[in-house]
Chain A
């Protein structure tokens, strides 16, 4: 019953080369920057784009392969599109019933089933409402009901929360999580938002430049990023280097001291809030201390993030108190310090 896909698509200079497997009931998030090939992968799975080579197999049936192509309308799929693409000239009920009607369910039955789905997503009473009159969150839920109403074996979600404002997003995300948990088929979630991926997915696949650069459970990916992009997503300082005992020589220049000795190529991470900044070189316990210059200062909700040139370059989160004390301006020379115990090292 597992979905097994080797997605190979070449379009002009871009090529996608991605292997995906999704177990029944599993939610896999495809996470990557714009242009990484997420949409191409989704379109290939949906049957909107034929593979150049490779295959898509679900259970025993081949959807796309060397000599078989099942077009979108013949695949048991449901898709929630980024801006939902609800049919403006149909009511919410007709939108949800559309898939059932297209697949041959009699009208009355389709409408009854659609009404049940609207009820499940908390929209009973909105049957006759046109998409134009729905709020963003309501439209998203209609889109989800429409995608699920046909009982698909593969659910594809394309940035399902991207069109929502921050306050709605939180609630819709948790509702979506509940529906996904109830859904017994395969789910692929395409997103560029790490939070959506972390909260909703059982497994992440990080896509960069058409290739999977990392995959694994969200906690694992968050703890041990393997590329700058992932590290940036999860908010960690990330370096590649070569370890020799408790010393790591970083590829980009500079070095760090670590607590546990290892040898060979490694990735090194530590969170920005593990970095402390000082006007003068600090004395005391064994730790990493190096001179830096301020490149930029960004104000976030409760902290201030300082971007510093090294080597190594580093991000530091400091408190407002520290900010007031140091009176930071770009170009200022400072000292950065990180405890060796805060530095996490794992094999490259």
Chain B
């Protein structure tokens, strides 16, 4: 009774834009699904598509791992250290979000490319060259996706009560043990949310990937690249490929959600 009354009082001012917002997000997807020539699906699911899909999933996952390894400590630095100019740093971290991905790719080439500031030495000393390799795809995806993780984790860290870290210190825990056993578990929901965003962004990454890592089947052709090139000659195939990518990513995220984000709703 009470609950129904409360629900009945949901303000129209909020409900209308909420419904409009949902429609805004879902209608283009619906359009994609409606236009999908499902009958051509079996013929399109070639070995190459399978390879692109596999590469996409592997690279996005590796990029997410890379973002976790580098991004969580960075988030901690931004949230907890008394570093001067943190506001400025925080703004810098979001640069890949506003930078057109293609420009991000060029920037990566300028630094990590064969003639790049660092890449030159990597090539000369270790014979490592990132462009046109699967590792390059991971780097490009991580570059673009990292801000999502950092922002999410930093927000969680800033909301977390630092007194728990003090409590751990009084129990003899070193800074590292405190971080690992107290701080990190307490911000786990933020880390998971950030990793999911990060993974999703990496999976859909196109511009930075094709610019930095190029496009070669089996090496660097991820699904978005395959979709883009399919669009050149066969728009129907492009739609089917996008839908496949869409379904796989939604499936993975839904699976994760059940397993990891099973909090009170």
Which listed residue, B163, B172, B188, touches A73 by the CB 8 Å rule?
B172
The reply on A327 being an interface residue by CB < 8 A is no
Q: Among B35-43, B79-87, B139-147, B177-185, which stretch is in contact with chain A?
A: B177-185
CA distance A73 to B171 in the complex (A): 6
Q: Does B89 contact A (CB under 8 A)?
A: no
- Contact status B181-A72, CB under 8 Å: no
If A72-B169, A79-B170, A85-B167 touch, whether A102 touches B186 (CB-CB below 8 Å) is no
Within 8 A of A (CB), among B136-169: 161, 163-164, 166-169
CB of A98 within 8 A of CB of B168, answer yes
A-side binding surface: helix, strand, loop or mixed?
mixed
Return chain B residues, CB-CB under 8 Å to A102: 168, 171-174, 177
Does chain B have a CB within 8 A of A46? yes
Q: Which A residues are in CB contact (< 8 Å) with B177?
A: 102
Question: Interface readout for A55-74 with B: 1 if CB under 8 Å, 0 if not?
Answer: 00000000000000001111
Known A85-B163, A89-B186: A98·B171 in contact at CB below 8 Å? yes
Bound state CA distance, A47 and B167, in angstroms? 11
Interface size class of A (residues with CB under 8 A): 20 to 34
Mark each residue of chain A from 73 to 106: 1 if its CB lies under 8 Å from any CB of chain B, else 0: 1110111010001011100000000110011000
A89-B178 Cα distance, complex, nearest whole Å: 13
Residues facing B in A86-130 (CB within 8 A) are 87-89, 98-99, 102-103
Closest B residue by C-beta to A143: B167
CB distance from B188 to the nearest CB of A (A): 8
Identify 20 new A-B residue pairs, CB closer than 8 A, beyond the known A77-B170, A87-B181: A46-B170, A48-B170, A72-B166, A72-B170, A73-B171, A73-B174, A78-B170, A81-B167, A85-B161, A85-B164, A87-B164, A87-B167, A87-B186, A89-B186, A89-B188, A98-B181, A102-B172, A102-B177, A147-B170, A156-B170
- B-binding residues in A (CB < 8 A): 46-48, 71-75, 77-79, 81, 85, 87-89, 98-99, 102-103, 146-147, 150, 156
**Minimum-distance CB pairs A-B, first 9:** A99-B171, A72-B169, A102-B173, A85-B167, A102-B172, A79-B170, A103-B172, A89-B185, A73-B169
